[in-house]
Chain A
Amino acid sequence: MGAVAAIRASGLGKSYGSGPPALADVDLEVEPGERLGFLGPNGAGKTTFIRCALGILRPTTGSVEVLGHDVATDRLAALAQVGYVPGDLGMIRQVSGRRMLDALARLHPRPPVLRDRLLTALDLSQADLGKRIRDYSTGMRQKLGLVAALQHDPPVIILDEPTAGLDPVMQARFLQVLDERAREGRTVFFSSHVLGEVDELCDRVAMVRGGRLLLVRDVDELRRARMRTVEVLFDGDVDPATYRVDGMGDVRVEGHVHHFTLSGDPGPLLTGLGPLSPRDITIEAARLEDVFRSLYLGDGD
């Protein structure tokens, strides 16, 4: 690998005492400009991975680099490239939002060039910023954390369940902001268990379970590989064998309605159905959620 990765973890592991490792032998590479969804159930090791990548925790084995800077030996240079929103966002409650933002801005070498745009996008007014953080709602605190993380326009954005506490409108706006940053070439590392968001935003997903990396795939590739549910309505009696294609299964006929599952590309099926002139076809979109469920319910091994 010649190019510098945005994030590169090699053999990363983290153990506490004699229990099972929180993270075991994780190799993961995130390319610059990529949007990677980091998926896993609670306790899977997502936050531990992120904290090791930021030098908040010290890995037991392996190493992490951020844009070529080894976090163990060159932490400050690595963090100068990062904007981070922690899952448990801690803020100093006695100070105003503005003072907190200013303080966090001064800790970063990059100027807060995006602050005003982010405040507008996330509906945080100057009056809101003047209030003490202890008077903020959970959602407002979360918005402040998002502005604090992104205000420097960092090349690498690391988010640990960032939309928790945001209402659906704000979630959508925030995803839009991330989409814009990604289009500008910023790397987005998006840890979540909200599959819809990852599905909407990310190009690639990495899935972890029990501290181990299960898979790293393109979202489209995963979708294509998944089973879809298909329903076809004909005007008269049709034998399913007349349009059968590879990947069809569980065929059930109820009057003129045929139900079945389909894995892989639906193109050949549509070609086969064309001459039969079906009145209606419903192909339920393959969702990342199905992949996630099947992996975590056991058939992903």
Chain B
Amino acid sequence: MGVVLSLALMRSMRRTLLLGIALGAFLFLVGLSYSSVDENQIRSLVESLPPALQAFVKGSDIASPSGYLGSTFIHPITLSIMAATAIAGGAASARDVETGVAELMLSRPLRRTAWLGAELIAMLVQVTVVAVMGLVGALIAITTVDALAPVSAGSLFLTALPLWLLFAGIGAVTALAASLSRTGAKAIGWGTAFALVAYALDYLAQVWGVAEPLGPLSVMHWYRPASILGQGTVPGSTWAVLIGVALVAGALALAITSRREVAP
């Protein structure tokens, strides 16, 4: 398993570092921009926006330090970078089947579950590296911008942890799709579709009363960074859902892979 894991990490290292640097820089720059924010102007601007636009910040008070920084964790750029990391990592097994790497590896005395287990761990490591680099960017911001002083490093960490779990789950769902696919593109397509549908469902549930009951069906619904930053705690339901999605999808992927054929 260690051999496959080290190979998987080595080949994804450059991509992971680039995505991590991008996320770290983005969170730092957004934090830095808070010093130029006029809280009252921002607050009145947000209140004047139609509900469809307010929903992008999940109803948080983005004029406050915690709301402002919290909104960066659900900014489309943050979500895209995390999703790219998780989906690329989750789809690795299907890409390996497609290119014949899986055939080469599994013609050695290596269990299929050990092979996929290593790919899943590699995906988790990639998501962790990118999330940590993003967290570092945000930490630098709160230590350099006086106006962000009310935000503690601990609450920032507590906000980043469910973000990591959310995308670990999306990566695991992509790995599940990969265990049913023979091409990387197909697995990436399914992983991307899952993330987009989850995002759209969460968004619709906030802006459209009819869709509101469907909100909890989206994995995104359970991640509310601004309220975590504001309250300093993560609801138990958030832990349960995010951990549950990651574990169930990962276990299903392993079960399917133990039976699957791995020829290109």
Closest A residue, CB atoms, query B96: A90
Contacts of A79 in B (CB 8 A): 107-109
Contacts of B263 in A (CB 8 A): 51, 56-57
Contacts of A92 in B (CB 8 A): 7, 10-11, 101
A82, chain B: closest CB distance, angstroms: 7
Query: Which residues of chain B in 1-48 are interfacial with respect to chain A, using CB atoms and an 8 Å cutoff?
Result: 3, 6-7, 10-11, 14
Stretch at the interface among A29-37, A100-108, A223-231, A252-260: A100-108
B9, chain A: closest CB distance, angstroms: 11
Contacts of A77 in B (CB 8 A): 109
Report whether over half of chain B's contact residues are helix, strand or loop; otherwise say mixed.
helix
Report whether over half of chain A's contact residues are helix, strand or loop; otherwise say mixed.
loop
Contacts of A57 in B (CB 8 A): 261, 263
Mask for B227-264, Cβ within 8 A of A = 1, else 0? Answer: 00000000000000000000000000000000101111
Query: Which residues of chain A in 212-270 are interfacial with respect to chain B, using CB atoms and an 8 Å cutoff?
Result: none
A143, chain B: closest CB distance, angstroms: 15
Please tell me if B211 contacts chain A, counting CB pairs below 8 Å: no
| Contact count band on B | 20 to 34
Please tell me if B76 contacts chain A, counting CB pairs below 8 Å: no
Closest A residue, CB atoms, query B97: A90
Closest B residue, CB atoms, query A76: B109
Contacts of A91 in B (CB 8 A): 101, 104
Query: Which residues of chain A in 69-116 are interfacial with respect to chain B, using CB atoms and an 8 Å cutoff?
Result: 75-77, 79-80, 82, 84, 86, 88-95, 99-100, 103-104, 106-109
Contacts of B109 in A (CB 8 A): 75-77, 79-80, 107-109
* Known A-B contacts A86-B103, A90-B101; A108 and B108 likewise in contact (beta carbons under 8 Å): yes
Please tell me if A287 contacts chain B, counting CB pairs below 8 Å: no
Contacts of B104 in A (CB 8 A): 86, 89-91, 104, 145, 148
- Contact partner of A58 (CB less than 8 A), chosen from B7, B103, B108, B261, is B261
* Known A-B contacts A88-B100, A92-B11, A99-B10; A76 and B107 likewise in contact (beta carbons under 8 Å): no
Closest A residue, CB atoms, query B98: A90
Please tell me if B105 contacts chain A, counting CB pairs below 8 Å: yes
Please tell me if A23 contacts chain B, counting CB pairs below 8 Å: no
Please tell me if B106 contacts chain A, counting CB pairs below 8 Å: yes
- Contact partner of A56 (CB less than 8 A), chosen from B3, B11, B107, B259, is B107
Q: Is there an interface contact between A103 and B6, defined as CB atoms closer than 8 Å?
A: yes
Please tell me if B75 contacts chain A, counting CB pairs below 8 Å: no
Q: How far is the CA of A104 from the CA of B109 in the complex (A)?
A: 10
Please tell me if B110 contacts chain A, counting CB pairs below 8 Å: yes
* Known A-B contacts A90-B264, A94-B10, A103-B3; A56 and B106 likewise in contact (beta carbons under 8 Å): yes
A13, chain B: closest CB distance, angstroms: 15
Q: How far is the CA of A94 from the CA of B101 in the complex (A)?
A: 12
B38, chain A: closest CB distance, angstroms: 48
Q: How far is the CA of A145 from the CA of B7 in the complex (A)?
A: 16
- Contact partner of A106 (CB less than 8 A), chosen from B3, B11, B96, B261, is B3
Q: How far is the CA of A54 from the CA of B104 in the complex (A)?
A: 11
Query: Which residues of chain B in 74-110 are interfacial with respect to chain A, using CB atoms and an 8 Å cutoff?
Result: 96, 99-110
Query: Which residues of chain A in 142-160 are interfacial with respect to chain B, using CB atoms and an 8 Å cutoff?
Result: 145, 148
A256, chain B: closest CB distance, angstroms: 59
Q: How far is the CA of A77 from the CA of B120 in the complex (A)?
A: 25
Closest B residue, CB atoms, query A102: B3
Q: Is there an interface contact between A56 and B100, defined as CB atoms closer than 8 Å?
A: no
Contacts of B264 in A (CB 8 A): 88, 90
Q: Is there an interface contact between A90 and B107, defined as CB atoms closer than 8 Å?
A: no
Closest B residue, CB atoms, query A80: B109
Contacts of A100 in B (CB 8 A): 7
Closest A residue, CB atoms, query B110: A107
Contacts of B101 in A (CB 8 A): 90-92
Q: Is there an interface contact between B96 and A82, defined as CB atoms closer than 8 Å?
A: no
A151, chain B: closest CB distance, angstroms: 12
Q: How far is the CA of A55 from the CA of B100 in the complex (A)?
A: 14
Q: How far is the CA of A123 from the CA of B66 in the complex (A)?
A: 63
Closest A residue, CB atoms, query B105: A107
A230, chain B: closest CB distance, angstroms: 47
With a 10 A CB-CB cut-off, give which of B7, B103, B110 has the most chain A CB atoms.
Answer: B103
Mask for A42-72, Cβ within 8 A of B = 1, else 0? Answer: 0000000001001111100000000000000
A46, chain B: closest CB distance, angstroms: 13
Closest A residue, CB atoms, query B260: A58
Sample of 20 A–B contacts (CB below 8 Å): A51-B103, A51-B263, A54-B107, A56-B106, A56-B262, A57-B263, A58-B261, A75-B109, A77-B109, A80-B109, A86-B100, A88-B264, A89-B100, A90-B100, A90-B102, A91-B101, A92-B10, A100-B7, A103-B7, A104-B108
Q: A79-B109, A94-B14 are in contact. List 14 more A-B contacts (CB 8 A).
A: A51-B103, A56-B106, A57-B263, A58-B259, A79-B107, A80-B109, A86-B103, A86-B104, A90-B99, A92-B101, A94-B10, A99-B7, A107-B108, A109-B109
By Cβ-Cβ distance, the 8 closest A-B pairs, closest first, are: A90-B100, A107-B108, A94-B11, A90-B101, A76-B109, A84-B107, A79-B109, A90-B99
Interface residues of B (CB under 8 A from A): 3, 6-7, 10-11, 14, 96, 99-111, 259, 261-264
